[in-house]
Structure 1
Amino acid sequence: MHVVPLPALADNYIWLLHDDSNQAIVVDPGEAAPVESALRARNLTLRAILLTHHHPDHIGGADRLRENHAVPIYAPDDPRIAVATHRVRDGETLTLQQPAARFEIIAVPGHTLSHIVYVGEGVLLCGDTLFSLGCGRLFEGTPAQMLSSLQRLASLPGDLLVCCGHEYTVANGRFAQTVEPDNTALKQRLDEVAKLRAEHRPSVPATLSSELACNPFLRVDSEEVMAWCRRHGAANDPIARFAALRSAKDVFRA
């Protein structure tokens, strides 16, 4: 399966997946135009739309794409996603015939309460739950919920490609450096990101194993993150450490 990030809106990525017979899936189309352009340029046939959560910058183009291509829309069980034609839930497997693909559904409350991710075909389609070097803001869920969601993702195979919803890696990396300034893997990742962005290329996808080595929100039990948390009065338990990290990131400016 070929994995293509399509820039959209201010800093979103729509994910386009297609096989060698030109059958395609699109994930979180915040607008339709970039998808239509990519389909034409690559001579692809759209077969399905997958949605991770209800925010407009992730679903805004889904209705137009469905009208134009008569395809099913898979989404979490949330009435705020009225455009959905099929609902998928935690623990279910979504099997598509064209392109031939299978995705496991994992519920990841935190950014929103009904957020889901799709795992399969070598990718983790994670919307706004996990970002490269960061995680989503807690608009609806609690720190305990988000940490549990991230821990579920952290247990997945390390070679999965993390396909997230925004180009936030540079800003996330600046914060991560304040938490783990001596993290060699983080330094290497930031050098890689700087080169990619200088060439106007996406910083994602990255592997999950890279995120486990670099992303402080996946590393609340690491010695350096715990030391940062002690300095910020939140070393007693993982949830408190995660909450301290997320609160600090919410107000971080650099």
Structure 2
Amino acid sequence: MRSSIHSRRTEHKALGLVLALALGTPLPAVAADATAAAAESQARERFSEGNLAYDLGEFDRALKSFSEAYRLKPLPAFLFNIAQCHRQLKNPSRAAFFYRRYLSLSEGEPANADVVRELIAEMDAQVRVQEAQRRERERFARDRELQRAREQAALAEARANEARLAANSSSAPGRDGASQALAIQVPDASVETEAGASKPWTRRWYVWAGVGAAALLAGGAVWLATAPEPRDTTLGTVGR
């Protein structure tokens, strides 16, 4: 049984060898051609999928399909399609890269070379605009952070000033202390005033002192008016 199976395998190998010799192609070359044909068939499928996705505006999916097609069969035309997808996805730097690779790897100058060069110039201009916008965003972010830091510093300084004022008011007599001192002095004056006001005016010493002084002045004035002429106060001489 085993010998018959072994003989059949040997016959198949011999038949394959005879067929290869008849075609004039070595067996490894036949296998390589089969692999290349399968890769080309798959590349065509990915290419068709990429075109359909591109027509539908599904540029991410189209980019993936064209990239897989190029891996299966690295044709420069796929690089142009990949560049087109990046252009639609607003990736000018990547688009310019693949446009340049397309021109570099194409055999001779492709028919659309002038259009591709215009697209490269357009992508380079967009790269410069994006770079300027990026720098502007970074500058705006730095200015905003600086402004925020200044506001925080001002707030911290204001809080520190409030804390110092609170500490000074608690440790040194201020307006409240002066008000308390005034409040202590005012009741004494009001008590004295009320005590003086409770006595009748006839019992106030300063009233009688004023009356006495007025009487002395009046008496002096009467005496001056009625007094006789002044006399000679000299005694003369003894021998006279």
Give the TM-score category using the shorter length: under 0.3
TM-score using structure 2 length: 0.23
Higher relative contact order (CA 8 A, sep 6+): 1
TM-score, reference length from structure 1? 0.22
Is the radius of gyration larger for structure 1 or structure 2? Answer: 2
- The structure with the largest helix share of the pair is 2
